[in-house]
Structure 1
Amino acid sequence: MFLLIFCKQLTPRVKYIFNFIFKDILLYEEDLSFTSNEIEFLQYDGPKFSYAEQPLKQELHFGSCKLLFETKIQPQHIDQIIFGDTQVPFPVKNGFLPFDVFAASFYFVSRYEEYLPFEPDKHLRFKAENSLLFQLDLLYIPVIDVWALMLKNILLKYFPLLKFGSRAFKFVPTFDIDRAYHFRNSGILKNTARIIKALLEKDKERLKNVLLTGLKKRKDPFDTYEMLRKIHNKHNLNPIFFFLYAHKRDKRYDVNIKPGKENFNALIKETAQYADIGIHPSYASNQHKHLLTEEIKNLSMLIEKPIHKSRQHFLRLHLPKTYLQLKEVDILHDYSMGYASQPGFRAGTCTSFYWYDLQLEKQSVLKVYPFAVMDSTLKVYLKLNPEKAKETISKIMGNVKLVNGTFCCLWHNESLSETETWKGWSEVYRFMVEMAVK
C-alpha cells in the first residue's frame, strides 16, 4: 500500500527532498505517491498526509512555506522557532510540527545559501561560520537524519503498517595525499636548505629526520602507509585515498611530488591494490578544467582504472561551478562536502545524496558524500590538543551512531607521522577507528 501525499504543486524540489528523506534515509519500502486532487486524497483510506499551508480536514498535516514551490534562487527571510532544545528555521502554523521540516532539509542539503552572495575566505570558500547550521548551533548534528527519524516515528504512530528498512552505522576513512613524503624526493638543494635552517634554529629533531631519511637509515616521516594498511586490514575497512597528481602546480599550495617519480608512482600503484583511488585536483584546476582533465587522465593511466572519485584540494568547493566541472570530466562521486574551519555536517546530513542543481532545478548524477571531521580542522583551525580532539570526534560520531548513519573522516598521511606538531595524533586516529568499529 503506497503512501499518499497531498501537495498542491509537485515541483522538482518537492520530489527531490521527499525522495531523499523517505528513500535514501528512511529506506521506505513502498511507493510514494503525490496528488493535488483534494477529493482523491480525502477518499483514499490508506496511509496519507498533507503538505500545504492549511490542512484539508482533520488529516495528518505538515505545514509548508514557499521555498519548495519557488523556481528562483533568491535571498530568503528565515525566521526561527524553538523546537525541543534546538532552534529550527522556517516556522509554520497549523501543522503537526511547528516548522517546515521539508523546506529546512532542502535548504541545507541543496546548499541554497552558497548560491547567494557571500564573503569568502582567502581560498574563496564559503565560511562555516556564515552558515545557518552554525548559527543555529546544529553543525555537529546530522539534523536532517534526526528529523527524518522523527517523521518516521510520527507516521508509524498513525500508520503502524508502513514498512521502513533499517540502516547500520558505517565508517568510511578517507585520506588526502597532499605530500606523499616529507624529505624523500625533495632533492639535494631543498634538503640542504632544510639542514641549514634546522641548524640555525637548533631544531635537532628536524635535522635528525632529514639526515637519517637522506641516508636511508629511517623511513620518511610521512611514510605512514604500511601502518594505515595494517589498521584498516585489522578492522576490514575500505579506505579511499585521494592523490594530488599534478604536473602544473601552484607552488604555494601544491607541494606534492611531481608525477613520474618512480617511488611516487609505485606508492600509488601499491595503494590501488587494496584501496579506492580518487583524484585530489590541484589548486588551480578549480579555475582551469583542462588541468583537471589532464590530472585525471594521468592518474587513471597509472593505475589502469577509471577515476570517478574526487575531493577538492583545500576543499575549494564553489557552487555550482565545481560540481558542473566535475560532471563534465565524468566524476560521479565527490567527497568535498565539509568545512575546513569547523567539523560537522555542511549539508546537514551524514547520508550521501545526489547534488541538486538549483540553476537547472533538477537532480544531477553526481553523488555527494559528506565528511564529518578533518584532522587539520581539529589541530590547525580549532587548535585542539589530541585529548580535546578525541572528545570532539566522540561527540560527532555519537550523533551519527544515534541515526545509524555514515561517519566519513578526512585524514592526511602526515598527521600520523608523530613528528613535530603532529605528535600524539596517530593515537587520535587509532582512537577514532576503535570507536567506529566497536
Structure 2
Amino acid sequence: MQLLIYTPQVTPRIKYIFNFMFREVLRCDIELTSVTNQFEAYQGPKFSYAERPIGKELFFKASGFLSKNNIEKPSIKISAFGGEKVPFAVEDSTLPFDVFAASFYFVSRYEEYLPYTPDEHLRFPPKASLQFELGLLRTPVVDQWAIILKNLLASKLENLHFGTRKFEFIPTIDIDRAYHFKSSGIVKNTARLLKALAKGDTERLKNIITTGLGKRKDPFDTYQFLQQIHQRYHLKPIFFFLLSHQGDKNHDVNIHPNDELLQDLIVATAKQGKVGIHPSYASNSNVLKLKEEKMVLDSLLKKTTDLSRQHYLKLHLPKTYLQLIKVGINHDYTMGYASEVGFRAGTCTPFFWYDLQLEKQSHLKVYPFAVMDATLHKYLKLSPKQATLLIEELVNSVKMVDGSFYSLWHNESLSETGHWKGWKQVYEHMLAAASQ
C-alpha cells in the first residue's frame, strides 16, 4: 500500500527530499498531505513529520529547516546515533535527529551557498563540509539513513512495501590530454626533449624519441587497454574530452580540438561508450566558451551532447549548474572532491539538482563519484597498495546500500610512466572488486 506522510505544510524542500529518499533510494510509493482529516482516516501505513504528533501515530519531529525558503546559516545541533555524530538533533521523536533535514542539507549542498574560504582553484574544500567535521564523508550516509528508516518503518507499519535496486558500477574517464607526445608539434616536443636532457631524465627522453620515431605507442594512449578491460567486465564507461581552444594556459594543456588524431579518437571512443564534454578551466567563468566547446563535440559526434564533468572539478553553486543548463547539459558528473575521497552530497544515488535560489528541483541530474586517481596519489599520497584498500572500502560501502559506484580516472594515470608507475594495477583491481 501507499505510504501516507502528514506534514503541516508540503514545502518544496520537503517534497524534494521525501521523493528522493523514498522513491529514488527506497523505491517506495508515497503521498504527502497537509490535511489532518485525510491522515487520520487513512487505514494504511502512515507517519507524521511535524513539530508535534497528531495522535499516537509514528512520529518524526521536524527541526523546522525544511519549512524555510531562504538561504542563511542554520543553527545545527549535533547528537549521537548508532556510534556516529549526526546533525539536526531533535527530542521526543522516533529518531534522535531530523533525518530529512540532515539529508536535504547534504544532498542540496546547502553549505556551499554560504560563505567559505576556497582552495587555490576557488573550489569548496572538503574540510569545510559538515560531513568531514562529523566523520561522515567516506560513507553514503544519506543512503544508509534511508535504509535505517526503511527497517524502522517495516517493523512498525503493516502492508508497507519497498522495491529493490541493484549495485552498479560506472567507470568514467577524463581525457585532459589525449596523447603525451603525439599531436604536440615539433616545437613543443623539442622543448620537452631539451628539458629531459637537462634533467637527465632518461625515461622521458626515451619516450619522446621512440614515440616520435613511431617505435612505441604514446604513453597516454591507453585506450586499447581500457576497451579490453571494460569489455572483460561488461562495463559501460563514460569518457569526458577536454576540447578547449585558447583556454587557461596553465590548466587547459590539451591538444588542439582541430587535431585530426584527437577527432578520430573521439569518434572511435563514442562507439565503445558514452562521450561527454569536459568543460575547460577557462570556461567555468565564460559561458560562451562553454557553449563553443560543446558545439565542437556536438559537431564531431553529429548529435547533441548532454553529459559533462568540469575540468579540475571546478564547481561553484549555483553558477556552474546554471551555465550547464543554459547550454543544454542535462547530466553532470562533477559532484566530488579533488582532495578527498567520499560522497560530497552524502549519497551514492544520482539526484536532480535542487536550485536553492529558486527553491525548486531542476532537470539537471547529478551523478556523484566516490574516488579519483589523482586524489589517491597526489592529495592523499597513498601507495598503490594503500589506494587499493581504500577503494575496496568505498566500493563495499556502496554495495551495502545497493547504490551506484562512479569512479573518476584519467588515461594518463594508466600509462605506467613517471609517477604513475604501479597505478595501472590499481585500476584493474578496482574493476575486479566492483564487478564481483
User: Distance in 2 between the 1:290 and 1:313 partners?
Assistant: 16
Corresponding residue of 2:217: 219
1:4 partner amino acid: L
Corresponding residue of 2:391: 393
User: Distance in 2 between the 1:40 and 1:322 partners?
Assistant: 42
Deviation at 1:119, TM superposition (A): 0.6
Corresponding residue of 1:187: 185
TM-score by length of 2: 0.99
Corresponding residue of 2:62: 64
Corresponding residue of 1:100: 98
Report if the CA contact (8 A) 1:242-1:279 is conserved: yes
Deviation at 1:160, TM superposition (A): 3.7
Residue 8 in 1 paired to residue 4 in 2? no
SS of the residue aligned with 1:364? Answer: strand
Provide, for residues 61-80 of structure 1, a one-character-per-residue CA deviation record: whole Å limited to 9, x for no partner.
11110110001000111110
Give RMSD over aligned pairs: 0.9
Report if the CA contact (8 A) 1:55-1:94 is conserved: no
Deviation at 1:3, TM superposition (A): 1.4
User: Distance in 1 between the 2:126 and 2:329 partners?
Assistant: 25
1:53 partner amino acid: E
Deviation at 1:421, TM superposition (A): 0.1
User: Distance in 1 between the 2:52 and 2:91 partners?
Assistant: 8
1:339 partner amino acid: Y
User: Distance in 1 between the 2:170 and 2:362 partners?
Assistant: 23
SS of the residue aligned with 2:111? Answer: helix
For 1:112-151, list aligned pairs within 5 A: 112-151=110-149
User: Distance in 1 between the 2:258 and 2:31 partners?
Assistant: 55
Aligned-pair identity (%): 58
Report if the CA contact (8 A) 2:4-2:46 is conserved: yes
For 1:52-91, list aligned pairs within 5 A: 52-91=50-89
For 1:310-325, list aligned pairs within 5 A: 310-325=308-323
List 4+ stretches of structure 1 deviating above 4 A. none
User: Distance in 1 between the 2:159 and 2:38 partners?
Assistant: 21
Report if the CA contact (8 A) 2:61-2:98 is conserved: yes
Report if the CA contact (8 A) 2:354-2:362 is conserved: yes
Deviation at 1:38, TM superposition (A): 2.7
Q: Give 1:246's match in structure 2, choosing from 235, 244, 247.
A: 244
Tell which deviates more after alignment, 34-43 or 400-409: 34-43
Tell which deviates more after alignment, 54-63 or 417-426: 54-63
Corresponding residue of 1:176: 174
User: Distance in 2 between the 1:330 and 1:197 partners?
Assistant: 43
2:9 partner amino acid: Q
Deviation at 1:319, TM superposition (A): 0.2
TM-score by length of 1: 0.98
SS of the residue aligned with 2:4? Answer: strand
Deviation at 1:260, TM superposition (A): 1.2
Deviation at 1:365, TM superposition (A): 0.3
Corresponding residue of 2:346: 348
Deviation at 1:39, TM superposition (A): 3.2
Report if the CA contact (8 A) 2:4-2:47 is conserved: yes
User: Distance in 1 between the 2:83 and 2:156 partners?
Assistant: 25
Deviation at 1:248, TM superposition (A): 2.3
User: Distance in 2 between the 1:429 and 1:369 partners?
Assistant: 20
Deviation at 1:163, TM superposition (A): 1.5
Deviation at 1:220, TM superposition (A): 0.3
Report if the CA contact (8 A) 2:44-2:159 is conserved: no
1:196 partner amino acid: L
Corresponding residue of 2:26: 26
Deviation at 1:42, TM superposition (A): 2.2
User: Distance in 1 between the 2:232 and 2:397 partners?
Assistant: 25
User: Distance in 2 between the 1:354 and 1:406 partners?
Assistant: 15
Deviation at 1:202, TM superposition (A): 1.4
Aligned residue pairs total: 436
Report if the CA contact (8 A) 1:333-1:367 is conserved: yes
SS of the residue aligned with 1:384? Answer: coil
Corresponding residue of 2:428: 430
Provide, for residues 202-241 of structure 1, a one-character-per-residue CA deviation record: whole Å limited to 9, x for no partner.
1111110011001110100000000000001111111000
Report if the CA contact (8 A) 1:279-1:307 is conserved: yes
User: Distance in 2 between the 1:160 and 1:251 partners?
Assistant: 62
